[in-house]
Structure 1
Amino acid sequence: MTTPATTATREEVWAESRSRLIPATVIGSLIEWYDIAIYGQAAALVFGTLFFPEFSSTAGRVAAFATFGVGYFARPLGAAIFGHLGDRYGRRVSLVGTLLLMGISTVIIGCLPTYASIGLAAPILLVVCRLLQGAGVGAEYVGAVTMVAEFAPPKRRGYYASLPACGVFLGIGLAAAVSAAVATLPKDQLMTWGWRIPFLLSILVVGTGLFLRLRVPESPVFADLKSARARTKVPALTLIRAMGGRLLLVMVANTVLAFNIYVIQTFALGYLADRDVAKSTTLIALLLGCAVGAVAIPLVGKLSDRVGRKPVYLVVAVLCALTAFPFFWLIDTGNTVLIMIGFALAFGSILAMFGSQAAYYAELFPAAYRFSGFGLGREIPGAVLAGPAPVIAVGLLAAAGGVPWLIAGAMALLAIATIAALAALPETAGIDLTPIHEADDEAAHV
């Protein structure tokens, strides 16, 4: 068995690669969340009219949200496929594939004819593009974090692994800024060509991201894995057999992020539009929430290096539970300042979770199926909760007679479920991620 690279060698590789690796992973997450955000915003604001004009206003929005949700059903499949590629053939190979699939699918959406031009074929094509987009997204962030975590020094892994998540707020923020600019167009221009602009602009970011990623070396941990011949034939199956219980706990721990983020980021846009709040106000409030998250994510990651992954993650989950009801109380006032505060509190809290979970999820799984475990742990709850979140929220709102207390209750309940799952998971800060020095068997089979 080949001895893995020495600590000194890893530090040298890290120092040499960091300036290319961090931007390459951040820009991938930026594209992922830009694509998600512009689709969610379009679903909330224009897709109902453009692709489902035969429906009523409410039914059209639900149908548009349903196409948003469809992409999430493809994400576990994408996580399995690209996770397999990442664990068998290399993290870098997988990351280039996810980037191309995401970006190309998004640009094609911006070129689609609408229902008025080709009838029923238009929403069908929209769904196909959304499925492809979802498959790419299913492993993008996971691959980025895995790469950084495997490169980074153990004592600063929490901080560095949190940095790709900065692409989350950059992507959502860029989407909010572009959508806010497009929303200022006259309605006839917005509905004919203006809505396409955010999707077409994705090609610029994809080109930049591809250039950066092709210059990043393979993860040294995967290089050790390959040289030690420690790879498994079907990583996902090995994962389920060896650590099925831990995988389930990670899924539960991710439920609050999977659901709450899309209630705030997507459903709330339509919710406020129905209350005659200006679209630009809502998008700027979303941008403010992103700014809070931008500050919180690396700080939370750095804190996890100091005090541990679990306690930081637990505190963030508690904050998510505590902000659920105040978020709706504040935005229901219709007051611009209070709406801004509501988004800053709720969206900032949920985005901070990226900083606490990044290194943690990478450390919870051995190298041979780390990509697969991390990916499936995040994306299976995404398929169940994230994609359907806006539709679920519409249903809960109707069930409560137009009052959002059931939605807030669901958000708080999922935060509590996350807290319970975290209590059963081990602390991992500082663990060696190399295939030779994996977590001991007792910890690995939680």
Structure 2
Amino acid sequence: MSDLQSSVDSHKKSAAEQRLATPEGRREFIKATLSCWLGTTMEYVDFALYGLAAGLVFGDVFFPELTQTIALLSSFATYSVGFIARPIGAVFFGRMGDRKGRKFVLVTTIALMGISTTLIGFIPSYATIGLWAPLMLVILRFVQGFGAGAELSGATVMLGEYAPPRHRGLIASIIGIGSNSGTLVASAVWLLVLMLDPEDVNSWGWRIPFILSALIAVAATLIRRHVRETPVFEQEQNESKQSDSQTTNAKQAPAAKASFLARNKAFFVMLGLRIGENGPSYLAQGFVIGYVVKILHVNKTVATTAVFVASLLGFFVIPFAGWLSDRYGRRIVYRWFCFLLMLYAVPAYMFLETRDPFIVASIIVVGMCLASLGIFGVQAAYGVELFGVRNRYSKMALAKELGGILSGGTAALVASALFDHYKTWWPIAIYFVLMAGIGFITTFFAPETRGRDLNAVEDAI
């Protein structure tokens, strides 16, 4: 299909290549890359901090009157609230981003996320104000998710639209490095916090990571205020002003005659790809922390150290996955990552039962490298290329966040409930395989999009 052919085969330079040809354009590219990296770092600091806190201390701080298993379940239930808010934010901010531009939205979302995350660190405990404590936690978690619903997709769109087609997979994977940086920062700070006495951790130590996250939010906000709009969006706006209504109607005619499934195929493809990545990611990175600490009674530092090590490896794994997608194509690389996750699940949860610190840490590291790092490095460029320019932000954000609710947002909650009911690991492993399998099957219906012209109006089908 001609709209999927690499733009490098064309004599006409893309909007991104034209801007990068000037010194000023290269400076704008660096500034945009830095702002996207910091913004995504902020988002994943939020979620990694909350995931670690939910697994390590929130049960004791906000749900002290419940059993260990039910307290863990309640902690991850509040974790899921953020995912419920994300698609609402995706719809609200995504439509705004397609109309007013990527930059306008990204400045707003980073401010919302930063404020809500910082305020979590100031919530009094259940022992101090009773039920108001978990209620305030839920409210701030909702606001956090509302902003995050457009943050990841917006940063991905901005960086993808800034990148030259030939290296879009590699450059867009910087979004994954941002998420990895957030996880690294969160786990590093938590390692320091866990050096305190357990009583100090539960009373005030857990607050430190949330309060310090304000530093990243402020830096990202200041940089984003001075970032220029993406070259792809600027070109689309110029072309829209120059075209008359007849030309516009002619462009939209094929889509209007197509079936509902044909018009929205890219949306459903993104939904399936997201489920295959996000569910296993949050099981490998979020649920497993609480599982090995609260259920298997492995030392807290083992899981936290494993997350830290995996985050360090991510600075190699993520760009390598993006480079592979530039070299061999988005679809085949994504398919292989999903397949490897399906093979990983059963032996991983089986060997966690050994409670051996080295084995437990290795399982967490491998799981994160496959689900939270590698596959995410491919998804960035793939998602941007799946959608047409006029609805890219809104469609991609909604597909990602709905996929997040159906997988990552409920993964820890479902896994906790499965263990509470069956008292064994194998239903969790099967659940893991099923979600990775959805991503694997989706790749057989997904188009190859490597190097696609991002100013194309139609979605890739």
Distance in 1 between residues matched to 2:416 and 2:275, nearest whole Å:
19
Task: Identify the range of structure 1 (13-22 vs 362-371) with the bigger mean alpha-carbon deviation.
Answer: 13-22
SS in 1 for 2:387: coil
Distance in 2 between residues matched to 1:7 and 1:275, nearest whole Å:
53
C-alpha displacement at 1:384, in angstroms? 2.2
Distance in 2 between residues matched to 1:249 and 1:31, nearest whole Å:
27
Among 364, 370, 383, the residue aligned to 2:386? 364
Distance in 2 between residues matched to 1:217 and 1:163, nearest whole Å:
18
SS in 2 for 1:111: coil
C-alpha displacement at 1:11, in angstroms? 3.5
Deviations 1:200-229 (CA, angstroms, capped at 9, x unpaired): 011111111112212211111111222233
Contact kept in structure 2, 1:324 and 1:409, CA below 8 Å: yes
Q: Which residue of 1 aligns with 2:409?
A: 387
Map 1:165-244; keep pairs closer than 5 Å.
165-229=176-240, 243-244=263-264
Deviations 1:111-146 (CA, angstroms, capped at 9, x unpaired): 111222222111111100000001111111111111
C-alpha displacement at 1:388, in angstroms? 1.7
C-alpha displacement at 1:5, in angstroms? 5.3
Among 405, 424, 427, the residue aligned to 1:406? 427
Among 275, 284, 289, the residue aligned to 1:255? 275
C-alpha displacement at 1:270, in angstroms? 1.6
Map 1:434-445; keep pairs closer than 5 Å.
434=455, 437-439=456-458, 444=459
Map 1:31-430; keep pairs closer than 5 Å.
31-229=42-240, 243-273=263-293, 274-350=295-371, 351-400=373-422, 402-430=423-451
Distance in 1 between residues matched to 2:14 and 2:440, nearest whole Å:
36
Distance 1:240 1:79, change over 3 A: farther
Contact kept in structure 2, 1:10 and 1:220, CA below 8 Å: no
C-alpha displacement at 1:292, in angstroms? 2.8
- How big is the alpha-carbon RMSD for the aligned residues of Structure 1 and Structure 2? 2.3
Deviations 1:386-431 (CA, angstroms, capped at 9, x unpaired): 122111111222333x321111111112212111111111111111
Distance in 2 between residues matched to 1:298 and 1:271, nearest whole Å:
30
Which residue type is aligned with residue 384 of structure 1?
Answer: L
Distance in 2 between residues matched to 1:157 and 1:25, nearest whole Å:
15
Distance in 2 between residues matched to 1:5 and 1:180, nearest whole Å:
44
SS in 1 for 2:240: coil
TM-score, normalising length from structure 2?
Answer: 0.89
SS in 2 for 1:254: helix
Which residue type is aligned with residue 358 of structure 2?
Answer: V
Distance in 2 between residues matched to 1:335 and 1:6, nearest whole Å:
50
C-alpha displacement at 1:150, in angstroms? 0.6
C-alpha displacement at 1:240, in angstroms? 11
Q: Which residue of 2 aligns with 1:235?
A: none
1:24 matched to 2:45:
no
Which residue type is aligned with residue 409 of structure 1?
Answer: I
Distance in 1 between residues matched to 2:424 and 2:14, nearest whole Å:
58
Distance in 2 between residues matched to 1:342 and 1:96, nearest whole Å:
37
Contact kept in structure 1, 2:447 and 2:460, CA below 8 Å: no
Contact kept in structure 2, 1:26 and 1:164, CA below 8 Å: yes
- Which runs of no fewer than 5 residues in structure 2 stay unpaired? 1-12, 249-255
Distance in 2 between residues matched to 1:22 and 1:6, nearest whole Å:
13
TM-score, normalising length from structure 1?
Answer: 0.92
SS in 2 for 1:429: coil
Which residue type is aligned with residue 404 of structure 2?
Answer: G
Deviations 1:172-208 (CA, angstroms, capped at 9, x unpaired): 1111111121112112211111110010011111111
Distance in 2 between residues matched to 1:6 and 1:369, nearest whole Å:
19
SS in 2 for 1:430: coil
Which residue type is aligned with residue 304 of structure 2?
Answer: L
Deviations 1:71-127 (CA, angstroms, capped at 9, x unpaired): 100000111111111101010011111111111000011011122222211111110
Distance in 2 between residues matched to 1:240 and 1:189, nearest whole Å:
60
SS in 1 for 2:173: helix
Distance 1:173 1:4, change over 3 A: closer
Distance in 2 between residues matched to 1:69 and 1:379, nearest whole Å:
12
Distance 1:58 1:153, change over 3 A: same
Deviations 1:327-363 (CA, angstroms, capped at 9, x unpaired): 2233222222212221221110012111111111100
For these two proteins, the number of residue pairs brought into alignment is 433
Contact kept in structure 2, 1:293 and 1:349, CA below 8 Å: no
Contact kept in structure 1, 2:20 and 2:29, CA below 8 Å: no
Contact kept in structure 2, 1:165 and 1:354, CA below 8 Å: yes
Distance in 2 between residues matched to 1:131 and 1:338, nearest whole Å:
36
Task: Identify the range of structure 1 (129-138 vs 6-15) with the bigger mean alpha-carbon deviation.
Answer: 6-15
Deviations 1:256-310 (CA, angstroms, capped at 9, x unpaired): 2221111122211121113221101110011122223331110111111111111
Percentage of matched positions with identical amino acids: 36
